[in-house]
Amino acid sequence: MKRNVLLALGGRRSAIALRTYSSLCDRLHRELTSRILPLHFDYLHTQPSHLLSLTLADLLPGDLISSRIHTALPSVTHASRMPAGHHLAYFPPQVTLSQLLPDGTDILHSPGGPFERRLWAGGSVRFPVTGGLILNGARAVCIETIRDVIVKGRQGAEKVIVKIERRMGVVREGEEEGSIRERIWKETEDENGHATIIENRNLAFMRKKTQDELNFDRMDFDNCQRVIKPPPSPEYRLKIKPTRSLLFRFSALTFNAHSIHLDEAYTQNVEAHLARSDHTIREFDYRNVAPLYVDEPLTICGKPKSGKENVWDVWIEGKNGGLAVRGTAFTSPV
């Protein structure tokens, strides 16, 4: 009889926990997906792209460095298209210092406490076949929308995945916000509208680590880090070593104040990582699997995807050869 009573009590507790978990999922999904994020405007000048090219130039082998890379700033009168990926140096979040959280990230996508740790889990980017935005000084916008929110993990150790869509396109001077959103943002993700670049980001928000978790992670950074075997036989390999100067310049160009990239004490004492973390990023899908650290070598690899034309498997290996980033690149014949 006692056993039946205990089982009944346990069942009630499980039901309560399940309702609490479901309530959290519903609340976060409702609150975040209804959040109207501010428009991020920018002017498509050449300087951010130029500075990013200069920052990355020494990392590339000689045959990949464009002969057009000079220290002189390119003129907008001879406009060129924005190189793939350079949109990261445009459309910074237009927030004040008071709108930054203690870790340096902004409040725009945060689900709020107790989910105070943010990690960039993965995403995708779609580029137009005709090329990127034209760097001619025109006014442009990035429209951010929280498309979905997913809660994973057991109660008390939940991970909140916030799925963000970013649509970038040219706007007219003085164009009303309603007109901008109607032209560029679309109800379904498959519709391009007047967007030139469409990017998706998956941000993971988690609870702060307990002191016991921090102590365990700090005991041996290398041994505690999971090593995932990368794909075999890459056709292309490029080994680079991101430096502190590179990390600082990239953070500045992308207006990224996240402490995990800038503050070694925060990275070690709050996130329990070995050192400050590197940034990781026609269509490119990617997933961040393990952290990469400043002043440690990494290797960018790629090979054609078996049985598929113009599709490449791409990945990044950490210093120990373990898989850190996995992605798929879709290319077009030139």
DSSP bridge pairs for 296: none
* pLDDT band, very low/low/confident/very high, at 93 (cuts 50, 70, 90): very high
> Which strands form 197-206's sheet, in the order they lie side by side?
40-43, 139-152, 159-170, 197-206, 117-126, 283-288, 323-330, 311-317, 298-304, 236-240
Average pLDDT of 246-253?
A: 90
- From residue 28, alpha-carbon distances to 25, 106, 156, 236, 319 in Å are 5, 17, 15, 42, 38
Phi, psi of 48 (to 5 degrees): -55, -45
| Closest alpha carbon to 304 in 228, 230, 240, 236 | 236
User: For residue 280, what pLDDT is reported?
Assistant: 36
Supply the pLDDT for residue 279.
Answer: 39
- pLDDT confidence band for 331 (50 / 70 / 90): confident
Residue 272 pLDDT: 43
pLDDT in tens, 44-78: 999 999 999 999 998 887 655 555 567 889 999 98
Q: Is the dihedral of CA 218, 224, 230, 235 positive or negative?
A: positive
Reported as a pLDDT band with limits 50, 70 and 90, residue 223 is: low
C-alpha dihedral, 103 to 106 to 109 to 114, nearest 10°: 30
Query: Is residue 149 scored above 90 in pLDDT?
Result: yes
> What counts of helices (H) and strands (E) characterise the chain?
8, 10
Reduced to 3 states, what is the DSSP secondary structure of residue 54?
helix
Residue 266 has pLDDT above 50, yes or no: no
Task: Tell the residue number behind the tokens 């929110």, with chain if given.
Answer: 149
231 vs 323: CA distance, rounded Å: 8
Give me the domains of the chain, ranges plus CATH numbers.
23-206 (3.10.129), 211-330 (3.10.129.10)
Q: What is the mean pLDDT of the chain?
A: 84
Prediction pTM value: 0.82
Q: Has residue 39 got a pLDDT over 60?
A: yes
Asked whether the predicted pLDDT for residue 270 surpasses 80, the reply is no
pLDDT at residue 67 in the model: 52
pLDDT at 33 over 90: yes
Q: Residues with Cβ < 8 Å from 248, sequence gap 6 or more?
A: 262
- Separation of alpha carbons 241 and 247, rounded Å: 11
**Rounded average pLDDT over 284-305:** 94
Q: Token digits for 269?
A: 């004492």
Amino acid, single-letter form, for residue 310: N
CA gyration radius for the chain?
22
pLDDT of residue 127: 85
pLDDT band (50, 70, 90) for residue 3: very low
- Integer Cα distance of 35 and 15 in angstroms: 30
Q: What is the pLDDT of residue 333?
A: 61
Among residues of the chain, what percentage have pLDDT more than 90? 54
